[in-house]
Amino acid sequence: MNNQLFKCIGGLFRKKDSSCVFFERMLGFRPLDIQLYKLACIHRSSAIKDSKGHVVNNERLEFLGDSVLSTVIADVLYKRFPYKDEGELTNLRSKLVKRETLDNLAYKIGLDKVVVSVQKLDQRHGPKIHIGGNAFEALMGAIYLDRGYETCTKFIKRLIDEKKLDMEQASREESNYKSKLIEWAQHNKCSYEFRLVDSQINKKDNTTTFKTEVVIDGKIMGTGMGLNKKQSQQNAAKAACEAIDRQ
């Protein structure tokens, strides 16, 4: 990759610190390919182009890092919470990797200081456009390509140990979507119904999958699947809550 591409990033680092030193302090290890980490900081709004006229940004690294982060978090949760079932682990992982959590995490580690974007990135505006959270996912992609999965896991565990990513608090605050939805419906004087619409038996592993719809004022607002009725209701309620938030 053309080194001239990253000249605009140089001014973002303190004069006394090279970019390698900056990232080493933030990550806890020394990058081998610094260009990957610089690329992770380029938001698409910057419209930076390489010597061939191609737009360069962190979206490909974000795509990779999203999967890497999800896998690492799932790995850590599986080992730290041996008595949580699949639904509980899934909900907790969703809480830890959602954009708002990653936005805040980016600020806590100082990643926002080196993001290249034409849009303003601050605590008030950032969470709405998720530039920080997207950059954190891209950073995970860079770490994976540069140092591998084990280093990604060590990095996330360090953030957890330092309470920058508070897994214990997230576990305590794990959402009960059904209760949340019922409370919202009652507050807004809406009728609601959890309607079991299907159940299928898998003869190969002797399991039954349930499908539930959430109906608010006669309109289907969410659908959820689960290995029991309670899980399918929670997943349907989660989908309904997300639909209501988008309105």
Instruction: Please check whether residues 131 and 71 belong to one and the same domain.
Output: yes
Instruction: Please check whether residues 26 and 148 belong to one and the same domain.
Output: yes
Instruction: Tell me: pLDDT of 123 over 50.
Output: no
- Tell me which of 172, 193, 218 is where a domain ends: 172
Catalytic residue selected from 62, 66, 112, 146: 66
- Domain total of the chain: 2
Q: Buried b vs exposed e over 182-192: b needs ≥16 C-beta within 10 Å?
A: eebbeeeeeeb
Instruction: Please check whether residues 96 and 33 belong to one and the same domain.
Output: yes
**Helix crossing, 59-80 with 131-147: angle to 10°?**
80
| Distance of alpha carbon 87 from alpha carbon 227, whole angstroms | 9
| Distance of alpha carbon 36 from alpha carbon 235, whole angstroms | 37
Catalytic residue selected from 62, 112, 137, 146: 137
Instruction: Please check whether residues 107 and 165 belong to one and the same domain.
Output: yes
Q: Is 75 a catalytic residue?
A: no
Instruction: Read off the CATH number of the domain in which 188 is found.
Output: 3.30.160.20
Instruction: Please check whether residues 163 and 53 belong to one and the same domain.
Output: yes
More reliable by pLDDT, 21 or 174: 21
Q: Which domain, by its residues, includes 73?
A: 3-172
Nearest CA-CA partner of 121 in 45, 184, 185, 47: 45
pLDDT digit string (tens) for 226-240? Answer: 888 888 898 899 899
- Tell me which of 172, 194, 214 is where a domain ends: 172
- Tell me which of 124, 142, 172 is where a domain ends: 172
Q: What is the CA radius of gyration of the chain?
A: 21
Band the pLDDT of 125: cuts 50, 70, 90: very low
Helices vs. strands in the chain: H and E counts, helices first: 12, 3
Q: Is 174 a catalytic residue?
A: no
Band the pLDDT of 126: cuts 50, 70, 90: very low
Instruction: Read off the CATH number of the domain in which 105 is found.
Output: 1.10.1520.10
Q: What is the DSSP track for 74-140? A: HHHHHHH-TT--HHHHHHHHHHHHSHHHHHHHHHHHTGGGG-B-SS--STTTHHHHTHHHHHHHHHH
Instruction: Please check whether residues 11 and 126 belong to one and the same domain.
Output: yes
**Helix crossing, 99-109 with 86-97: angle to 10°?**
50
Instruction: Please check whether residues 13 and 104 belong to one and the same domain.
Output: yes
Instruction: Please check whether residues 45 and 106 belong to one and the same domain.
Output: yes
Q: Residue 24 contacts by C-beta under 8 Å, 6 or more apart in sequence? A: 30, 31
Instruction: Tell me: pLDDT of 69 over 60.
Output: yes
Instruction: Please check whether residues 183 and 168 belong to one and the same domain.
Output: no
Instruction: Please check whether residues 53 and 162 belong to one and the same domain.
Output: yes
More reliable by pLDDT, 221 or 91: 221
Instruction: Please check whether residues 44 and 135 belong to one and the same domain.
Output: yes
pLDDT of amino acid 158? 94
> Which tokens belong to 135?
């950059």
pLDDT digit string (tens) for 167-203? Answer: 777 766 555 788 889 989 999 999 999 999 998 887 7
Instruction: Please check whether residues 136 and 192 belong to one and the same domain.
Output: no
